[in-house]
Structure 1
Amino acid sequence: MEKQRIAILGGGESGVGAAMLAQKQGFDVFLSDFGKIPTQYKEKLQELNIAFEENTHSQAEILKAVEVIKSPGIPDTAGIIKEIKAKQIPVVSEIEFAKRYTNAKTICITGSNGKTTTTMLTYHILKNAGLNVGLAGNIGHSFAAQVATSDFDWYVLEISSFMLDDMYDFRADIAVLLNITPDHLDRYDYKLGNYAASKMRIAQNQTADDVFIYCADDEETLKVLKDTKLKSKLYPFSIRKKIEQGAYLESNNIHININLNDPFTMSITELALQGKHNIYNSMASGIVAKVLDIRNTSIRESMGDFKNIEHRLEHVAKISGVDYINDSKATNVNSTWYALESVSTDVILIMGGVDKGNDYDMLKDMVRQKVRAIVCLGKDNKRIHEAFEDDVEVIVNTFSAHEAVQIAYHLAKKGNTVLLSPACASFDLFKNYEDRGNQFKAAVKEL
């Protein structure tokens, strides 16, 4: 019998992982990338004898497929996707495909902000408690590659809205929705409602045995929940009001009441992650841990010794009494708001890059209160100047990380913080946000 073809679009982490799993499941696999495939992934495909092409899409080869797995970065408006859909060939995400071939349970975390930190913290708590757990999704090794090569009982998955758009039968055992704020609106016809509906797909297919965890303080989440019928058990978290079953903040203590006979309490001063937004992230992870009956002492220990990821409010150095913080992962306005909220000193803010239709209004109050100067780092900084010219005395343009750090160094006074938190994508001057963060760190180390 002839093997059925699976075509995979995109030769990055998720694409190559999907190719590995599809090959293991006995499909005829063809991987196509319209750009260049990074060397390490090309070598993996060659080693496994998986057919691939780069810098082109051979339509005839792709359209032989019974199913197409696409990288989350490829929009539905791409010509090749339109051709595939016209032929009524199903298009799914790597996550959707991988879930078919594992019995592991999944904890799926989404939200406009905080999802990487919450995913990492949840994984840290579960691993420390001795669970056989994998980490995948938008972070680490691809879910499909791990399903092909490992045997975990649990996965903690960071899930973006782009992944959710191509998920149909996938079911999350535990779903976490942290918040909904305007991001990637260019992919959603510039409608927040469309983006919110996409985020709610995290809870689709859930049954009464499953759990949905959400922020009771987030207006957009509450709005979209009104129009969604969920079968799962709901556990909200809040820092504004007392929650009967879920998590809340009272006199600087987090309280988690899932198992009412064994409540969890922890002072926010003991949390490894500081700042208001991280109280939310810690609550969400804590609810997951309590749902899984992890011991309070173990949760407390993990929440107290967690180390955050690179490029997310990462302390780089203190030079002449000035702190340098790398928050290059802040690619939207809301992330930058959170970064400013967590810094208690005056700030020299390095921001800019590729603007995804940003609305800077929500930053204005925070900028007025905390920012002494803005150093723009991007090819086109016009919108930043227009947004903040009345709020900040100094706005300077720079075109490299080195130049931005040099200027910030001269603008900063003892006791200030130089914060790279761009609110924009990085593709105008850098390969990606990691490259931007690494160049910033290198420039700080040269001071």
Structure 2
Amino acid sequence: MKHKSIFGYGVTTTPLVAFLNKQGEKLYIYDDKFKDISTDEKGNTFLPSSAFESASSSMEILSPGIPPYHPLIQKAQHRISEYDYFDMLLNDEAQKPLNIWISGTNGKTTTTEITTLLLSPFGAKSGGNIGTPLATLYEEKAPVWVLETSSFSLHYTQKACPHIYALLPVREDHITWHGSFENYVSDKLKPLTLMNAQSYAIIPDELSSHPTLKAYKGHLITYKDSVDLAQKLDLPIERIVFKEPFLLDALIALGIAKVGFKCEDIERLNLFKIGKHRIEEFYDTQDRLWVDDSKGTNVDATIEAIRRYADKHLIIILGGDDKGANLTPLFDFMQGKDICIYAIGSNEARLADFAKKYALPCVPSTTLQKAMELIKQVRKTDDVVLLSPAAASLDQFSSYKQRGEIFVKLALQ
């Protein structure tokens, strides 16, 4: 007898498994972390990835983090994304929620959270990478789904699509997973190939020559920057309290609310509080400024953080697992600025080589603890110390959150 299979057992798929168990399903769950076959009290079977046999599987629902080159994906014959699965359950168009998807390299979470705040009077709830699991959104019959959507989810989604799609600027990221920057961009634009003529898309102008945009049937709004978007949508930029890079996030969220709901609630927008570890400023007992941007895990995010403090003497902690990203744009941006780099993590030597090439001072420090010890010996009162690693954290930390928390603790000691 064939069964449903779940690929990957983590944050995304755990609520899905619970949902399917309530429907009477007993699932086969495959994950690299399982070394032996076991079962739980719900009748689910946990198996190593190597145990998967496509002949016994009727459907494979994927955790989006599993890359296309993984053996599980290669053997699957009936794979489906979580987005497509719930779209299939919502087969009655009259009962489907209004779907808003938000993607991009940086700013997805902030834009999703602001959009959800603006549309909360209309019953909006956030999901996807953040917020409420899709299974819960489905069970609660939320009328508006605001989904922070990764390029991984978009890659595997073949049928589901949003009514409104907003894309923040796309910069080099996840290249190993996608195979190339061109593939990454194509996945980011994929929803446009599935959306109808009544849909709306807010897309960076730099992608306007891409074939996918030229073929898009819906209402297309392109933007060069925050000022351009505000002008095109007639949004009162002067009344918005946020600075860049959050200003663009706020304007995109406000644009979604305006085109989708004719809502332009600036007062509600300005109540939003930026999340932790994203250009989060704090002061120590000596009134010295420290900035936790541990969520700055790629080059573009770090450039935006540096831009905020370009008129200061900046001490920046860089480093971690950069996944082979192109660091040239970051060092091009830093060149000529009053910056000193403290390099940590697995790409420490690579950062030191770049710094030498660009004649930027760099102190190889290996660990965050060592970097902070050295910085405290030399920093002056007016210096700004910024943790914005332009790299993932998992080489030395459990998450960017842990990295940020340790940075704050060390700064305040």
TM-score by length of 2: 0.89
- Give the % identical residues: 25
Map residues 204-223 of structure 1 onto 2, 5 A cutoff: 204-216=193-205, 219=206, 221-223=207-209
* Partner in structure 1 of residue 93 of structure 2: none
Residues 388-436 of structure 1 show CA distances to partners (whole Å, capped at 9, x for unaligned) of: 2244553122333322222223332222211111111111111122221
Map residues 285-324 of structure 1 onto 2, 5 A cutoff: 285-296=253-264, 299-324=265-290
* Aligned partner letter, 1:375: Y
Q: Distance in 2 between matches of 1:195 and 1:419?
A: 29
Mapped pair 1:194 → 2:183: yes
Mapped pair 1:135 → 2:136: no
Residues 392 and 350 (structure 1), Cα distance of their counterparts in 2 relative to 1, 3 Å cut: farther
Tell me if structure 2 keeps the 8 A contact 1:399–1:429: no
* Aligned partner letter, 1:139: I
* Partner in structure 2 of residue 28 of structure 1: 26
Tell me if structure 2 keeps the 8 A contact 1:340–1:370: no
SS of 1:376's equivalent in the other structure is: strand
Deviation at 1:194, TM superposition (A): 1.5
Q: Distance in 1 between matches of 2:358 and 2:381?
A: 22
Residues 38-64 of structure 1 show CA distances to partners (whole Å, capped at 9, x for unaligned) of: xxxx9xx957x251426x236256752
Aligned residue pairs, count: 405
Q: Distance in 2 between matches of 1:401 and 1:279?
A: 30
* Partner in structure 2 of residue 83 of structure 1: 75
Q: Distance in 2 between matches of 1:308 and 1:227?
A: 31
Residues 363 and 290 (structure 1), Cα distance of their counterparts in 2 relative to 1, 3 Å cut: same
Mapped pair 1:408 → 2:375: yes
* Partner in structure 1 of residue 224 of structure 2: 238
Q: Distance in 2 between matches of 1:241 and 1:266?
A: 7
Mapped pair 1:14 → 2:12: yes
Q: Distance in 2 between matches of 1:165 and 1:329?
A: 23
For structure 2, list consecutive stretches of 5 or more residues without a partner in the other structure: 91-95
Tell me if structure 2 keeps the 8 A contact 1:373–1:394: yes
Residues 172 and 445 (structure 1), Cα distance of their counterparts in 2 relative to 1, 3 Å cut: same
Q: Distance in 2 between matches of 1:240 and 1:306?
A: 18
* Partner in structure 2 of residue 445 of structure 1: 412
Mapped pair 1:64 → 2:85: no
Q: Distance in 1 between matches of 2:167 and 2:82?
A: 20
Deviation at 1:365, TM superposition (A): 3.8
Deviation at 1:384, TM superposition (A): 0.6
Tell me if structure 2 keeps the 8 A contact 1:373–1:411: no
Residues 229-285 of structure 1 show CA distances to partners (whole Å, capped at 9, x for unaligned) of: 01111122333875xxxx33xxxxxx453xxxxx54231xx534312x333222211
Tell me if structure 1 keeps the 8 A contact 2:192–2:213: no
Question: Structure 1 stretch 347-356 or stretch 314-323: which is displaced more?
Answer: 314-323
Residues 190-228 of structure 1 show CA distances to partners (whole Å, capped at 9, x for unaligned) of: x32221111111223111111111122xx2x22325664
Q: Distance in 2 between matches of 1:377 and 1:300?
A: 41
Tell me if structure 1 keeps the 8 A contact 2:348–2:366: no
Residues 408 and 166 (structure 1), Cα distance of their counterparts in 2 relative to 1, 3 Å cut: same
* Partner in structure 2 of residue 251 of structure 1: none
Q: 1:278 aligns with which of 241, 246, 257?
A: 246
* Partner in structure 2 of residue 116 of structure 1: 109
Tell me if structure 2 keeps the 8 A contact 1:59–1:80: no
Map residues 128-207 of structure 1 onto 2, 5 A cutoff: 130-147=121-138, 149-189=139-179, 191-207=180-196
Tell me if structure 2 keeps the 8 A contact 1:349–1:373: yes
Tell me if structure 1 keeps the 8 A contact 2:101–2:148: yes
Tell me if structure 1 keeps the 8 A contact 2:340–2:361: yes
* Partner in structure 1 of residue 99 of structure 2: 106
* Aligned partner letter, 2:242: L
Q: Distance in 1 between matches of 2:8 and 2:241?
A: 37
